[in-house]
Structure 1
Amino acid sequence: MEDIWLDLIDRTNNCYWKKVGYLIPGNSTCLGGNISFDLLDLHHLEYLTLVYPSFRVCSYPFDTVERSWVKDLNWISGLSSLKCLDLSYVNLSSATHWLDSINKLPSLVTLSLQNCSLHYLPYSFPNWNMTSLSYLSLSHNNFVNSELPKWLSNDTTIETLYMVYSNIQGPISNVEWGKLCNLQKLYLEQNKLNGDISRVVEELSKCSNPTIEVLSLGENVLTGKLPNSLGHLKNFRILSISFNMISGTVLASIEQLSRLEILYFGENQLKRPLPESIFNLSELTALQLTTNALEGNQSFTKSLCKTPSTESFIPILWKKFFNQLEQYNQIGGSLPRIVNFPSTYQIWTVGFYFSYYYGVMVDLSSNHFHGSLPLWPTMTDLNLANNWFSGCIPLNIGHVMTKLQVLDLSGNDFIGTIPYSITSVKQLLRLDLSDNHLSGKIPDWWYDLQQLQVIDLSGNNLSGTIPPSVCSPLSLFWLRLCRNNFSRGLPKSLRNCNSLLTLDIAENKITGTIPKWFGESLLSLHKLRMTSNMIHGRIPPQLCQLSNNHQILHLSHNNLTGSIPSCLGTLSGLKLVKFYKWFPNYLYFSYVFTPKMELIEKGTKDTYTFTLGQVNLIDISCNNLQGEIPNEITALPALSTLNLSRNQLS
């Protein structure tokens, strides 16, 4: 006998887009209205999915309905043959006793109540009847004062458990994890769980044949240390515990996890040397250890560079994702979760991103690694920012690491010059060498790097002039050269930076005047920072022609004279208050990038990163400007900081 389905998923999402006001081409319509009580006559129904359509289910109608809703779930017990129930995105906020009703379905195997506005999660629950339940998703709800429920210990058939971003708090030890020996995938990230992580690992390892493959506990408040029993969980593919307060060391027993593909340990309190054996894991494709107190020495960096014939990292993860994505397109269902990403923010913080190529990515930023720079021939994304690496950047870096697309060596102790071999890295998208001790001139070979979108050389000892070729990459949108020793005027070649969103040349020794062509050629510019230079002359009125989205005009501590142009009041980007936060996969790039700029507000110098997009500023203080403050400036309601101090205004 074939399975009996009732599947009302809107796989086109057309109904959603219509609701939010988009025009959808064609004659597509949206199902809606009331679902009849006749549904309860389908006693042999095995699969029921009501995701997305606008239905009012078995209750009285409301006049305004944003999405499907159900008043209660008492009616569900009449569908006694159900094996799969998916009510994701259906509003169940009024269904207080939802679990009592669903517990009357003894054949249920799959239950998905994701994003259902559930507020009540019972802590204990007697008479557990769902003895076949293997998949449970309660993610993206907003449970009030709810702990991890004890009744999960009774679900001994569970294989996959999703309770992501649901405001779950309290001890993670509420569940007797040692009873769940069929558990394969556990996703509890982005909650408020506390307690010792060793309790979970030790209990899972007591199973005679541990099946756990995915343990994702990121973004909680877990403490404790990883126990040696971690090595017993040999089926691990994904181990993610980032953004907790876990201490101790990364254990040598991790080398026993030969199937490990994803390892996220960032944003914890781990310390001491990292075991070199971690790089013998041949399946490892993504490693994130950022912001700990880990250490490494010269022997450590050499071990990173060992490259067997099969390569240190095999990019099989991408193959799996696209193979399953192809299956998803053919047969439908939920999008496969090859890797669990605790949040959008963390996706980009850890340096793991989707793209249409196989990539090898390592993020070891914000630790205590030291020694010389390791070179990986197969690396595409390397982030070693904020460590203690020293010495010169190897002259052959570009000849060895030809596949690089992102190179972030910022915040280390590198000396010497920028190697010419970087010109061999033709696919380079982002180059960040900021906050080191590099010296000499900026090389004039940027014509060879036509894919570059981000150049950050700030905070070094570079001197000379800004070379003409720096704007030759047509996609360059971020150019940051502040806090160096550049002198002379600005090259006319800067007018070729047509895609530039940010130009930061502050805190140098640049002379000359502000070019009129800034407002004629750099029409995409959002942020212009030229503070603390030796620039003189008037503020050209052409500057008022800058982008409609211009947010930051920072010209303080120069020798500017004349009056304040009244046309500054026409900067339309400062007329509309925008409430948004920088999201790292913004329109212009598809890789890890965090904006960074030093600004002075209320007399305090701060470094802005993710909130930089919220700053609207005009600062032309500490110059020799004269005349009256133009009334037109009062027409900028979105302006958050205006500093005209230390001039000669009347």
Structure 2
Amino acid sequence: MFMAKSPMDTLHFSCIQIAIALLLFTQAKSTTEGSTSALHPNDAIPSCVAGEKSALLAFRAGLSDPANLLSSWKGDDCCRWKGVYCSNRTGHVVRLDLQGNGQALAGNISSSLLGLHHLRYLDLSHNRFDKVHIPEFIGSINNLRYLDLSGSLFVGSIPPQLGNLSNLRYLNLGYISDNTYSTDITWLSRLTSLEHLDMSGLNLSTLVHWLPSVNMLPTLKVLRVTNCLLKNSPDSLLLSNLTSLETLDLSENHLHKHSRPNWFWDLTSLKYLYISGNGFYGPFPDGIGNMTSIVEIDLSDNNLVGMIPSNMKNLCKLESLVSFRNNISGSIAELFHRLPNCSQNKLQDLFLSDNNLTGSLPTAPVESLSNLNQLYLSDNKLTGHVPVWIGELKQLTTLDLSSNNLDGVIHEGHLSRLDMLQELRLSDNSIAITVSPTWVPPFSLGIIELRSCQLGPKFPMWLRWQTHVMSLDISNTSINDIIPDWFWTAASSVMSLNIRNNQITGFLPSTMEFMRAKEMDFSSNQLGGPIPKLPITLTKLDLSRNNLVGPLPLDFGAPGLETLVLYNNMISGAIPSSLCRLRSLWLLDLSSNNLNGSITDCLVNKYSTNMTDLTLSIVNLSLRNNNLSGEFPSLLQKCPQLIFLDLGHNQFSGALPAWIGEKLSSLSFLRLRSNMFCGHIPDELTELVNLQYMDLGYNNISGSIPRSIINCTGMTQTRDNDDLRDAFTSGVYSAGNELVDYTENLTVLTKGQERLYTGEIIYMVNLDLSCNSLMGEIPEEISALVALKSLNLSWNNFNGKLPENIGALMQVESLDLSHNDLSGEIP
């Protein structure tokens, strides 16, 4: 007899059914990929198989583990070891996830891994297996479905045995190392289940026909062959099997061919296409408009010309169009008109910087841009005003209109609804930003670049509310005002700060050391007062052309300082010995101040425990136009990288030391003009083979010109000056700006005039010994200095004849031998 079930019985029965269903589902999952059947080691699972534990221990024995990544590999249950995942049903090891992530394994890969018969997932990426080849036996781990060796520093050829992994669905060989290559990838055609293939960074330059092997993979969804030195890109595939392909990254292969035809334009299944940096030339292919599944397309760094095709309106799923550094020409309004304008506007990112777009931005709202996150239009030829509808793009996070010819006014109406804005880049336009002093912006910006816009004359008060800025550039913005105290508080977290070329007055704050800046440029203002202790994070500082006074800090406070530019101020006192602590300093310009006394000698200062081992990194040192005195600074013996040295217009005295030739072997420019140096020109000075500029004018040097001057090949040969450029210019690029923009400048007496040389000084080859007490004949070896552009030996006591071959100095533009006792005929 059957009894009726109560509601509680029914509920109990339903719970049992659910539990059984969950159990069956879990068991079913265990038969799928290892990545889904494996549980985390800390979950409740059966103990690991003894033979597999032994295999793992043998594998670990061949490895070097400096970061103790495998410190948990102890105890009986290997399923609880870090990176080891076991099946929740059988206890077999099915997944080994040992990606380095900055703390890397090294050593050899043991074939004991073959003992993991059920292994389906193997990730050895981002380790340091340098000088080791990828083991061929990996091709015998038959059940592998996932293999990631990217960034692991293996060298040599990719083993074709990987083609035996017939179950493989994911294969990542991307950027293994610079010394990894493949000369034959036909083995790929056997991986018929492969869905994801990344060979980025592999050297495939010897492959002529690489695509047919890839075309044998009908299930492939992702193909990345970035920077593989591929030699060709076929025009078409007669029969394409790549009907499932959704992502294709072919960028940075420098194929240098016409933009059409190309095989990938026919892949209408593509969602993500990246072909940047290939030198494709010609018009934008109409085939783009047929790729109606496309979500992201990157065409940048090519030479595509003309306007984007009109059928791009069909790309209703398009979210990101990247086409910077191309040659798009035509009206910006026409380009906007050709963007997809479907019922649901999905376009979020528009990167069109560095093209040839012209005309004015449309005055009416552009419907296709209504959901835009990022708008990059910098480095084009846009004119006119910035329209107010820009302020209606409420999702906008980045607005970059810099380096155009835009003008007019941006006011609160442009900005008050941009709550999401994070980056505002308007530099190098003629835009005036005019807002109320009491206006509080709705956004919190991370990057503000307004160089050469009109912000002044008052200091822009709205910056007070921007307290999370990482990069701030308000240089050359016509500010003529005292710098407010709140600015230093708001800018305390800024890493890259540029306020150069204004008329800003006031003082540097005593709390400057608590700022977080790495780079600061305050040059060409009217800042006064002393230099306070600097932020500990600071690497580059330019305070030149201000009104700073007082001594240099006894403690600079920035041990990593690389560039310190303080010329044209009123800084006084001696150069402190704390300079010796700046071991990273390579550019120091203290010229045109009121410094006095002798140069500190690090050999006797308190900041180093072993001064005999002290080495400074200074490459460019300029101390000219001060009141410094004493002998030639012995400190310079500790500057072996010195290329440019200017001690001119001081009160240095004594003889030039012979060690200059040995200790300063890299010296190319030596300027000691207008001091009180005496004695002979040491022969050792001519051992400076790179010396191309030597100015000893206006001293008390006597004796004769060493005949070994012929050893200065910098004056005998025209050299490649590119290697000097870095020593004379300092450009720190931060968020697209050049910060601490320093160019060496000095005056050269040539053609009877003092001429100012800036960046082009690297091309100047000059020998100036004028206004000394040199005597004897001008040596014949002078005629061998055929790279000279200026030779000045005037106001000395030279006698005898001119060198017979002086006419060989064919590069000379200025020759001054006046006020000597020369005789005889002009050759």
CA distance in 1, matches of 2:157, 2:218: 35
Give the aligned length: 562
- Aligned equivalents of 2:221, 2:192: Cα separation in 1: 12
Distance in 2 separating the partners of 1:519 and 1:244: 46
**Quick one: which amino acid aligns to residue 50 of structure 1?**
M
What is the one-letter code of the residue matched to 2:474?
L
Q: Return the letter of the residue paired with 2:355.
A: N
Mapped pair 1:12 → 2:152: yes
Aligned-residue offset at 1:597: 0.9
1:434 corresponds to: 544
Distance 2:148 2:249 in 1: 15
* Aligned equivalents of 1:384, 1:631: Cα separation in 2: 52
The match for 2:285 is: 149
Residues 514, 53 of structure 1: alpha-carbon distance in 2 compared, 3 angstrom cutoff: same
- Which of 370, 381, 388 is residue 223 of structure 1 equivalent to? 381
* Secondary structure in 1 matching 2:645: strand
Q: Could you tell me how far 1:111 is from its partner in structure 2?
A: 0.9
The reply on whether 1:569 has 2:682 as its aligned counterpart is: no
Any residues of structure 2 matched to 1:99-110 within 5 Å, and which? 105-110=242-247
Q: Distance in 1 between matches of 2:239 and 2:665?
A: 54
1:95 paired to 2:233: yes
Residue of structure 2 in register with 1:387 after alignment: 501
1:269-316 superposed Cα distances (whole Å, 9 cap, x missing partner):
2422265799835452222233x343334262x221236xxx444xxx
Displacement after TM superposition at 1:137 (Å)? 1.1
Q: Would you say 1:606 and 2:754 are equivalent positions?
A: no
CA distance in 2 between partners of 1:16 and 1:371 (Å): 63
Cα distance change of structure 1 residues 567 and 35 upon mapping to structure 2, 3 Å threshold: same
Match of 2:637, SS? Answer: helix
**2:324 partner amino acid:** E
Match of 1:50 in 2: 199
The residue that corresponds to 1:33 in the other structure is 183
* C-alpha displacement of 1:368: 3.2
Indicate if the aligned counterparts of 2:494 and 2:516 stay in contact, CA closer than 8 A. Answer: yes
Q: Does the Cα contact within 8 Å between 2:559 and 2:582 map onto a contact in 1?
A: yes
User: Is the CA contact 1:242–1:264 (under 8 Å) kept in the aligned structure 2?
Assistant: yes
Instruction: Kindly state the Cα deviation for residue 233 of structure 1 after the two structures are TM-superposed.
Output: 3.9
Asked whether 1:130 is paired with 2:267, we answer: yes
Residues 93 and 425 of structure 1: CA distance in aligned 2, closer, same or farther (over 3 Å): closer
Q: 8 Å contact 2:542–2:740 — kept in the other structure?
A: no
8 Å CA contact retained: 2:283, 2:304: yes
CA 1:581/1:562 → structure 2, altered by over 3 Å: closer, same or farther? closer
SS in 2 for 1:69: coil
Counterpart selection for 1:116 from 253, 271, 280: 253
CA contact (8 A) 2:601 2:633 kept: no
| Secondary structure of the corresponding residue to residue 605 of structure 1 | strand
Please state whether the residue corresponding to 1:569 is helix, strand or coil.
Answer: helix
Equivalent position SS for 2:390: helix
User: Is 1:271 aligned to residue 436 of structure 2?
Assistant: no
Q: How far did 1:513 drift?
A: 5.1
CA–CA distance in 1 between the matches of 2:268 and 2:419? 33
Q: Displacement of 1:449 after TM fit?
A: 4.7
Work out whether residues 519 and 544 of structure 1, in 8 Å CA contact, stay in contact via their aligned partners in 2: no
Partner of 1:188: 323
Which residue identity lines up with residue 107 of structure 1 in the other structure? S
1:161 to 297, 310, 313: 297
Distance of 1:477 and 1:29 partners within structure 2: 33
CA separation of 1:647 and 1:107: change in aligned 2, threshold 3 A: farther
What amino acid sits opposite 1:531 in the alignment?
G
**1:567 positional shift:** 1.8
**How much is the aligned-residue C-alpha RMSD, in angstroms?**
4.5
Distance 2:594 2:779 in 1: 33
Q: Is the 8 A contact 1:156 1:180 kept in 2?
A: yes
TM (normalized to structure 2)? 0.58
SS at match of 1:368: coil
Q: Which moved more, 1:588-597 or 1:112-121?
A: 588-597
Aligned pair partner of 2:530 in 403, 409, 418: 418
AA in 2 matched with 1:32: S
Query: Is the contact between residue 580 and residue 616 of structure 2 (CA under 8 Å) also seen in structure 1?
Result: no
C-alpha separation in 1, matches of 2:686 and 2:747? 21
Aligned-residue offset at 1:113: 0.8
Residue type of the alignment partner of 1:131: T
Identify the residue that residue 555 of structure 2 maps to in structure 1: 446
* Alpha-carbon contact 1:513-1:538 (below 8 Å) kept: no
Matched-pair contact (CA < 8 Å) for 1:71–1:92: no
Aligned partners of 2:439 and 2:462 also within 8 Å: no
Partner of residue 462 from structure 2, selected from 300, 303, 315: 303
Q: Distance in 1 between matches of 2:594 and 2:269?
A: 70
Amino acid of the residue matched to residue 294 of structure 1?
A: Q
- Residues 69 and 293 (structure 1), Cα distance of their counterparts in 2 relative to 1, 3 Å cut: farther
- Corresponding residue for 1:403? 516
SS of residue paired to 1:568: helix
Mind listing any 5+ residue stretches in structure 2 that lack a counterpart? Answer: 1-31, 36-143, 159-176, 357-379, 606-614, 692-712, 800-827
Task: Supply the AA of the counterpart residue of 2:426.
Answer: F
Of 510, 519, 525 in structure 1, the residue corresponding to residue 642 of structure 2 is: 525
- Residue 219 of structure 2 aligns with which residue? 81
The equivalent residue for 2:417 is: 256
Q: State the match for 1:474 in structure 2.
A: 582
After superposition, the Cα gap between the structure-2 partners of 1:455 and 1:76, relative to the gap in structure 1 and judged at 3 Å, is: closer
| Cα distance in structure 2, aligned partners of 1:388 and 1:587 | 21
Q: Deviations over 1:159-180 (max 9, x none)?
A: 2222332233334x44666544
Structure 1 counterpart of 2:456, one-letter code? G
SS at match of 1:459: coil
SS of corresponding position for 1:464: strand
Cα distance in 2 for residues equivalent to 1:544 and 1:642: 23
User: The residue matched to 2:661 in structure 1 has which SS?
Assistant: helix
Q: From the superposition, tell whether residues 588 and 176 of structure 1 become closer, same or farther in structure 2 (CA, over 3 Å).
A: closer
Contact 1:532 1:556 in 2 (8 A): yes
* Corresponding residue of 2:706: none
> Given the superposition, is the C-alpha separation of residues 31 and 189 from structure 1 closer, same or farther in structure 2, using an over 3 Å criterion?
closer
When Rg is computed on C-alpha atoms for both structures, the one with the higher figure is 2
Structure 2 SS opposite 1:224:
strand
Over residues 220-246 of structure 1, what are the superposed CA-to-partner deviations in whole Å (9 max), with x where a residue is unaligned?
332225444434444333444544555
Q: What are the ranges of 5 or more consecutive residues in structure 1 without an aligned counterpart?
A: 19-26, 56-66, 314-359
Cα-to-partner distance string for 1:310-355 (whole Å, 9 max, x where unaligned): x444xxxxxxxxxxxxxxxxxxxxxxxxxxxxxxxxxxxxxxxxxx
Check whether the contact 2:184–2:207 (CA below 8 A) recurs between aligned residues: no
Once residues 206 and 435 of structure 1 are traced to their aligned partners in structure 2, the CA distance between those partners, rounded to angstroms, is 53
